[in-house]
C-alpha cells in the first residue's frame, strides 16, 4: 500500500471513529472543499504530501510517524489518534502556560490568573446581556428572526 492509500485508509478510519458531524462539517474543519474530501475518501484523487501533512496536523497526528508505521519502521503503538480534534493554537497556549507555571515566576502566574478571571467575568457579562436582550424581546413579543415589518405609505413616483 502506498502512502496516499494508507493516508486515505487512515482518514476514513479516523473520521468513522472520531467525527460525529457530517462530511461537509469535516471538510470545513480540515479546510478543504466537500468535493475534494469526497474524492480523497473515495480514492478518486490523491493528495500531495504537503496537503496530507496539513490535514494530519489539523487532526493532531504526526504524518511522518503515520507513514513510518505503515512501512514497518515503527511500532503500531506509536500512532496516537486523538479522541477529539486538537486545536493547534490551544495546544500552543497550553505549552506556553505550562512553561510559565514550571518556571515558578509568581508575578507571571499571578498576571495570568488575573487576566483569566477578567476574561471569565467578561464572558459572564456578555452572556447575561444576551439573555436580557432575549427576555426583553420575548416580553415585547418580538424576535430577531422575524423583525416587525414597518409599513411605509406608497405614493406616486415623481
- Per the rule left: phi > 0, alpha: psi between -120 and 50, beta: everything else, 43 is left
**Phi, psi of 103, rounded to the nearest 5 degrees:** -65, -25
**Phi, psi of 21, rounded to the nearest 5 degrees:** -90, -175
Helix/strand/coil for 157: coil
Instruction: Characterize 115-134 residue by residue with b for buried, 16 or more Cβ atoms within 10 angstroms of its Cβ, and e for exposed.
Output: eeeeeeeeeeeeeeeeeeee
pLDDT per residue rounded down to tens, the chain (158 residues): 677 888 888 888 888 887 777 888 888 888 888 898 888 888 787 788 888 888 888 888 888 887 776 555 444 444 445 445 555 667 677 778 888 888 989 998 888 888 888 888 888 888 888 877 766 666 666 555 555 556 666 666 55
Q: Give the global pTM.
A: 0.44
Amino acid at each position: 500500500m502506498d502512502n496516499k492509500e494508507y493516508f486515505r485508509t487512515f482518514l476514513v478510519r479516523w473520521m468513522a471513529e472520531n467525527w460525529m458531524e457530517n462530511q461537509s462539517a469535516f471538510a470545513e474543519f480540515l479546510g478543504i472543499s466537500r468535493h475534494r474530501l469526497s474524492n480523497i475518501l473515495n480514492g478518486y484523487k490523491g493528495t500531495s504530501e504537503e496537503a496530507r501533512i496539513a490535514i494530519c496536523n489539523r487532526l493532531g497526528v504526526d504524518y511522518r510517524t503515520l507513514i513510518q508505521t505503515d512501512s514497518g519502521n515503527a511500532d503500531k503503538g506509536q500512532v496516537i489518534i486523538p479522541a477529539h480534534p486538537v486545536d493547534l493554537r490551544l495546544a500552543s497556549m497550553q505549552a506556553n502556560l505550562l512553561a510559565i507555571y514550571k518556571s515558578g515566576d509568581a508575578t507571571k502566574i499571578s498576571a495570568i490568573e488575573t487576566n483569566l478571571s477578567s476574561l471569565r467575568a467578561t464572558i459572564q457579562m456578555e452572556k447575561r446581556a444576551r439573555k436580557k436582550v432575549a427576555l426583553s424581546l420575548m416580553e415585547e413579543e418580538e424576535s430577531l428572526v422575524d423583525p416587525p415589518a414597518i409599513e411605509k405609505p406608497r405614493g406616486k413616483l415623481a
